[in-house]
Copies of this chain bind each other. A is one copy, B any other.
């Protein structure tokens, strides 16, 4: 009998996170003066213990027991062998996927949400603020805050707030407060609303509101939490790849030939890939493929440059692949892949030639998602469909060459709150949005006057 699932026993859950910064040190973030910032300058935004992780060059960092106790509710997550998809494709490849959709919030996001909430609680913080676009991150942070006993305020881009009312209900069920942004709660929000009372909002505005809401707490009991991009966020996600390594060994595989994950800010992808990057640096041959939408081709078409993390230019400058901080991608359904930048750790690995990024249009991705649902049986999030499309392309290549390649990809989340995208796909109402050359050039112009990384 084919066993379609490889479980890692609870007792084997990883007890340490892997920090790629130890093996591939990223360029330092810069302040407004163009000089590396003093980490202490971030203390109003993040608690000290997380700032320490953000700048750490320690290779292994212990996972506190109380965090493990919450993670153990759904971790180790299953590694699945895609027998049904393999049969459907007639491929000699062996396809495995790490299923992060089994978390309470339905994606990989709680891995870091729980850790961030716990560290803030330890630091005496009483509540967190954050922004959310499609709602995955806001849901995960609301979940995590409920588990450790923190308040949670989420600024949700107004157009998404109105289009996806159930995300708000999900946060509310976990005790989170979800506010459409721009709001009247912050100066940033009020300024926008004065100019345009009907502003649909943007991730950039929501970030500004969330940060302002945190730093303006007169009691200093509020901090801000980010769901991707930063080093400590990627660190918390490495349990994915560390578990996958053990599970592949249990399945009798010596190593994957190719590793695939969708990449928006980079945390899901790096969670699976980073523990393997260490092996590649040691000489192992593994193709590592971050996948992005052709509508937002950060890694495949944009330069490695210093840029702001937010639209308003309030964050430190990060060295990363970036389309320019004012870039506004088309409204594809994979809302989590619409970020203009990319995690500095992932960007540095791409620049070093360790990763081979690839981009797909959303039609091909939905086609892959439907094939996957009808074979493997799980309905994926629109973001995850990008990884599936790439895995299927690899499996077809293996069929042509006759090579039994081992493909490992990250199944980052389920699509049960994203069925509107499938509906539009079935109705033939979706299209691809390849980024025109002139739009790209215009968007990159904002980088011209910023410092350049070495």
Chain A residues near B (Cβ < 8 Å)? 1-5, 7, 9-10, 65, 68-70, 72-74, 80, 84, 102, 104, 106, 143, 146-147, 165-166, 169-170, 172-175, 369-370, 373-375, 377-379, 416-417, 419-420, 422-423, 426
With contact pairs A73-B80, A147-B377, A377-B147 given, residues A422 and B5 touching in the complex (Cβ less than 8 Å): no
Can you list 11 residue pairs at the A/B interface with Cβ under 8 Å? Answer: A1-B72, A4-B70, A4-B73, A7-B9, A9-B9, A104-B378, A146-B373, A146-B374, A170-B416, A172-B422, A416-B416
With contact pairs A143-B377, A422-B172 given, residues A416 and B106 touching in the complex (Cβ less than 8 Å): yes
Residues of B within 8 Å of A172, CB to CB, are: 422, 426
With contact pairs A10-B7, A143-B377, A165-B423 given, residues A1 and B65 touching in the complex (Cβ less than 8 Å): yes
Instruction: Report the minimum CB–CB distance from A209 to chain B (whole Å).
Output: 23
Instruction: Report the minimum CB–CB distance from A60 to chain B (whole Å).
Output: 19
A69 touches B4 (CB 8 A): yes
Instruction: Report the minimum CB–CB distance from A55 to chain B (whole Å).
Output: 29
A72 touches B166 (CB 8 A): no
With contact pairs A3-B72, A374-B175, A419-B169 given, residues A104 and B10 touching in the complex (Cβ less than 8 Å): no
B104 touches A1 (CB 8 A): no
Of the listed residues A5, A69, A80, A373, the one surrounded by the most CB atoms of chain B closer than 10 A to its CB is A373
B7 touches A7 (CB 8 A): yes
Q: List the 5 closest A-B pairs by CB distance, nearest first.
A: A166-B419, A169-B419, A104-B377, A146-B374, A169-B423
- Distance between Cα atoms of A68 and B335 in the complex (Å): 37
Closest to A75 in B: B5
Instruction: Report the minimum CB–CB distance from A217 to chain B (whole Å).
Output: 23
A379 touches B423 (CB 8 A): no
With contact pairs A102-B102, A374-B175 given, residues A72 and B5 touching in the complex (Cβ less than 8 Å): yes
| Supplied contacts A1-B65, A3-B10, A173-B379, 16 more A-B pairs, CB within 8 Å | A3-B72, A4-B69, A4-B73, A5-B74, A7-B7, A70-B377, A73-B377, A104-B379, A146-B375, A166-B423, A169-B419, A169-B422, A169-B423, A172-B422, A174-B377, A416-B417
With contact pairs A106-B416, A423-B165 given, residues A72 and B173 touching in the complex (Cβ less than 8 Å): no
B426 touches A169 (CB 8 A): yes
- Distance between Cα atoms of A416 and B377 in the complex (Å): 17
With contact pairs A146-B373, A373-B174, A379-B173 given, residues A73 and B5 touching in the complex (Cβ less than 8 Å): yes
A84 touches B147 (CB 8 A): yes
A422 touches B173 (CB 8 A): yes
Residues of B within 8 Å of A373, CB to CB, are: 146, 173-174
With contact pairs A104-B379, A423-B165 given, residues A370 and B72 touching in the complex (Cβ less than 8 Å): no
Closest to A7 in B: B10
A68 touches B1 (CB 8 A): yes
Residues of B within 8 Å of A80, CB to CB, are: 73
- Distance between Cα atoms of A65 and B147 in the complex (Å): 40
Residues of B within 8 Å of A5, CB to CB, are: 10, 72-74
- Distance between Cα atoms of A379 and B74 in the complex (Å): 14
- Distance between Cα atoms of A84 and B174 in the complex (Å): 14
Residues of B within 8 Å of A69, CB to CB, are: 1-4
Instruction: Report the minimum CB–CB distance from A21 to chain B (whole Å).
Output: 28
- Distance between Cα atoms of A175 and B166 in the complex (Å): 25
Instruction: Report the minimum CB–CB distance from A73 to chain B (whole Å).
Output: 5
Residues of B within 8 Å of A84, CB to CB, are: 147
Residues of B within 8 Å of A375, CB to CB, are: 146
- Distance between Cα atoms of A374 and B73 in the complex (Å): 14
Closest to A380 in B: B173
- Distance between Cα atoms of A378 and B143 in the complex (Å): 9
